[in-house]
Structure 1
Amino acid sequence: MPDDLLRHVIGPTPYSSVWLWAAIGLILLVCAWYIGVFVLTAPRRAIRELPVLGAARAELLRRRSARAVRTIGNRYRSGDLSAAPAGAAVSRELRAFLQSVTGVQAQYMQVEAIAASDAAAAAPILVELTDIQFNHHSALDAGTVSDATEELIRGWT
């Protein structure tokens, strides 16, 4: 074989680094998938007990609920809502927040039962919201009660 043909003979080509990064990306994607399935299917109590994830979830719930209550209060102040519907909306949002944070079925409980549960700190505000919602001659202001509700939600621990 002449020496001039040896320049056309080469060794095996190396693997491309794209395959390495594709494999790493797929492994990370599968790990994220399993974590997502765990978080979405775990009981809420189990998520609350996880240190970082439970705290992040609680903070997210506080912010979302406080923003919703503030929006309802602003709609009442602007005249879009009257006192009774504003009180009902704030009560509904507060009860949903209490159920998400404490696990107490606050959406379906009487105020007296809530006062005897883990959500007892919210009972005075729920009494005021009930008065606004069902007493058309109430002296309470729905805007003031919505501010107090927002403050309670933001300070909930």
Structure 2
Amino acid sequence: MPAAADVPGMPEEFTGPVAYSDRWLWIGIALLVLVLAYYLVSWWVTRPPRVPTVPRRTVDVPDAQQQHLALIDDLAARVRSGDVGPREGHQQLSELVRSYVAAVSTLPARTMALADFRDRAPRELVEAIELMYPPEFAPDPADPLATFEDAVGRSRDLVSTWG
């Protein structure tokens, strides 16, 4: 294309069209990428958490449930009668729940700490273990028998429904 000064009849002071600077194109692309990144991060942060799934073992779950429910009832009766203290009751109850979970699933529940349960276990199991944990390790909880009864109820619910 000939320059404006080369066109016959055009004054010499006129020049041809000038293109936009490339930096405006890159600024526009960067802003578009930032908006897309904002929506992607917003979606990622606000999505619901994944519920961990625990692979099940091929065992007779009803028999394991009945056996562990009977052990829980026996332990609760021994704590109520005073043969076993509430702290020991919490410890044994925790062992019974962990034993049941280890029997029906591949989760190594007997050797897991509370942090491990929070990372890898379903919410209902974590809630049951969290209820037993403080009285299990604290020397003198405020009302150990009341927390034991709550823990027994939660344990029975867990063993009855989980599996």
Residue 63 of structure 1, CA deviation: 0.8
What is the RMSD of the two structures over their aligned residues, measured on CA atoms? 2.0
Aligned match for 2:160, one of 146, 154, 157: 154
The number of equivalent residue pairs is 106
Q: How does 1:8-157 map to 2 (within 5 A)?
A: 48=58, 54=59, 57-139=60-142, 140=144, 141-157=147-163
Q: Which moved more, 1:101-110 or 1:124-133?
A: 124-133
| Runs of 4+ residues deviating >6 angstroms | none
Residue 150 of structure 1, CA deviation: 1.1
1:23 — aligned with what? none
**TM-score normalised over the length of structure 1:** 0.61
What per-residue deviation string (whole Å, max 9, x for no partner) do you get for residues 70-112 of structure 1? 1111111111111111001000010011111111001001112
- Indicate the structure (1 or 2) with the bigger Cα radius of gyration: 2
Q: Which runs of 5+ in 2 are unaligned?
A: 1-54
Alpha-carbon distance in 2 for matches of 1:115, 1:95: 14
Q: Which runs of 5+ in 1 are unaligned?
A: 1-44, 49-53
Counterpart of 1:65, as a letter, is: H
Task: Report which of the two has the higher share of helix.
Answer: 1
Residue 119 of structure 1, CA deviation: 4.4
Residue 118 of structure 1, CA deviation: 4.0
Q: Say whether the 8 Å CA contact 1:132–1:138 is kept in structure 2.
A: yes
Alpha-carbon distance in 1 for matches of 2:117, 2:101: 10
Q: Say whether the 8 Å CA contact 1:70–1:147 is kept in structure 2.
A: no
Residue 153 of structure 1, CA deviation: 0.5
Counterpart of 2:157, as a letter, is: E
